[in-house]
A = this chain, B = another copy of it.
């Protein structure tokens, strides 16, 4: 009998298969401007951008954040990655009977603070409580709606692709900007969870990114964006390349990574490209605007370590030019990767 496996939720190849074969196949294609079948970060319907995420991370408090901040940031970043401004969120909470009220309040406080930072209003919600032992602690599901701004319209006039910054909008010649260091979130989670002890040095990057996207859009020339969460930049870049029908070459020496994070990845045998982030955007920019956009992003507090890590080429693979001058194909990650990071 076929059963659900952990890898079905890990953000890599198996999850893609589950979604395509067992979910998408059942739903009609409908009339949405950006529909489920696009498998982008958000949908667009009646010019409203709409997205959802369930957050099941363990531990619920980790270095650099908690499940509340993660839920808000993760969801508004899916809106921001289409270039839209998040305006409102919903908050559905499932709690385990016996969960400490103090912890619940800390999480609510964190949600309120992150929503304020992100400029979104929590407008609707739901609360369920399940019997002790039939779930662990808390699950937070956030959905958000967003709108196109004049900034995005201006950008569209310049770039003349889809108004929304879709995964499928890359074209050969575009530059690929990564807004900062990779793998910090995944390492912070696994270290705290498994007690590896890196957590003194590595903190999650969890952060809401619309402010940073606004800086980029002010410069213009933005073609595409995607937040690199589960499956890391390896997964995000492969999705973008596949949906755009292009190849992407990235340079290892340009990819920002903290020393402690890299050391942890090496000790654990993890490819940092496949380890998740919660505050990093991959942005495709038309070549002539790439340097200006990079400078603008670096002025934002969440973009100080941004780099142009590569470019879009003919082909269909994501290729890594290694520091020693070799080349390897960066595959869509498979298997369980690391424990759930969101």
Binding site for B on A (CB under 8 A): 1-10, 15, 18-19, 22-23, 26-28, 30-32, 34-36, 42-43, 45-46, 48, 50-56, 58, 87-88, 90-102, 104-105, 108-109, 111-112, 115-116, 121-131, 134-136, 139, 141, 143, 145, 147, 340, 342
Contact = CB atoms under 8 A, between A and B. Distances in A.
Q: Which of A36, A116, A131 has the largest count of B CB atoms less than 10 A from its CB?
A: A36
Contacts of A129: 4-10, 340
Nearest to A93: B54
B46 A87 contact: yes
Given A23-B108, A123-B32, A131 B90 contact: no
B102 A1 contact: yes
A125 B94 contact: no
Given A22-B105, A121-B32, A50 B127 contact: no
B50 A88 contact: yes
Contact of A99 (B4, B46, B102, B136): B4
A52 B141 contact: yes
22 contacts: A2-B101, A4-B99, A5-B98, A9-B127, A10-B129, A22-B108, A26-B109, A27-B121, A30-B123, A32-B121, A45-B87, A46-B87, A50-B88, A50-B90, A50-B124, A52-B141, A53-B92, A54-B94, A54-B126, A56-B128, A56-B135, A92-B141
A130 B336 CA distance: 11
Given A9-B129, A108-B22, A27 B115 contact: yes
Contacts of A94: 54, 56, 139
A153 to B, nearest CB: 16
B122 A36 contact: yes
A33 to B, nearest CB: 9
A35 B6 CA distance: 37
Contact of A19 (B5, B127, B136, B145): B127
Nearest to A94: B54
Contacts of A141: 52, 54, 92, 141
Contacts of A123: 30, 32, 34-36, 43, 45, 50
Given A27-B115, A94-B54, A126-B53, A101 B22 contact: yes
Contacts of A99: 3-4
Given A52-B141, A128-B54, A136-B134, A122 B2 contact: no
A122 B4 CA distance: 22
Nearest to A41: B124
A120 to B, nearest CB: 9
Given A50-B124, A54-B94, A28 B116 contact: yes
Top 9 nearest A-B pairs (CB, nearest first) are: A9-B129, A43-B123, A30-B121, A52-B90, A143-B143, A2-B101, A141-B141, A43-B124, A54-B92
Contacts of A100: 1-4
